[in-house]
Chain A
Amino acid sequence: MLQPASVPLSWYLILSAILFGLGIAGFLLRRNIITVFMSIELMLNAVNLSFITFS
């Protein structure tokens, strides 16, 4: 029987991909170097989320 309150694992991966895409967009579009660095941190966190999802 399907558990009613379970989150599919692929949703985490899709969220991770969306955050990674946002990080790439910020990295490419922004001029300020601090904002570019924060976008890199965003990409790093998206990759961390996918690692923990696969663990």
Chain B
Amino acid sequence: MELILFLLFAVIAVACGINLVVQKHPISSALSLIGVMGSLAVLYLLLGAEFLAAAQLIVYAGAIMVLFVFVIMLLNAGTEPRARYRSYAKVFGIGALVAFLGLIAYIVQSFLPPTEGVQFGKFTGGGADKIGIKLFTDYLLPFEIVSVLILIAVFGAIVLARKEIE
């Protein structure tokens, strides 16, 4: 069951990722990216990270993609012209891509120590309560540093977006 779910959503994620790169119009790419985010949320749920799956759906597939679609529609982005590539560049690029993916698969399969399989419900501790306790006890300093970083980003957005007042 887990294998079927993993394979189904991995294939959906890879297909949507290929569609993202291939499509000409940015709206089509954005919709494909929503598909990638949703299937990745299901994969997080399979890995036992419940809070991160919910956050992925709410923050990425909800908020950030709405922002993307708004920006695309406000900028009125059209289809981009088809780029011309040399034929030997195509052949060499596809060959290099296949070699790269094969090399990574070989390295992961052979050099990493063999691990037991992932089972649904085996890993616990991905809930919101556990993450909150960890965040406010062990990882308090990185949490505060990230909050300062977000504050700096907010200040930067205000400075960049404000009208010049003479």
Contacts and interface: CB of A to CB of B under 8 A. Distances in A.
Interface residues of B, number: 47
Nearest to B122: A6
B57 interface: no
Interface centre among B2, B18, B36, B71 (most CB of A within 10 A): B36
B120 to A, nearest CB: 8
A52 B101 contact: no
A55 B83 CA distance: 41
Contacts of B109: 10
A55 B165 CA distance: 50
Contacts of B101: 17-18, 21
A18 B43 CA distance: 15
Given A3-B119, A17-B108, A41 B33 contact: yes
A6 B47 contact: no
A42 B20 contact: yes
Contacts of A30: 21, 80
Interface in B30-45: 30, 33, 36-37, 40, 43-44
Interface in A15-44: 15, 17-19, 21-23, 25-26, 29-32, 34-35, 37-39, 41-42
Contacts of A19: 13-14, 17, 36
Given A32-B26, A52-B49, A10 B112 contact: yes
Interface of B: 1-3, 6, 10, 13-14, 17-18, 20-21, 26, 29-30, 33, 36-37, 40, 43-44, 46-47, 49, 52, 60, 64, 68, 71-72, 75, 77, 80-81, 83, 97, 100-101, 104-105, 108-109, 112, 115-119
Interface of A: 3, 5-15, 17-19, 21-23, 25-26, 29-32, 34-35, 37-39, 41-42, 45, 48-49, 52-53, 55
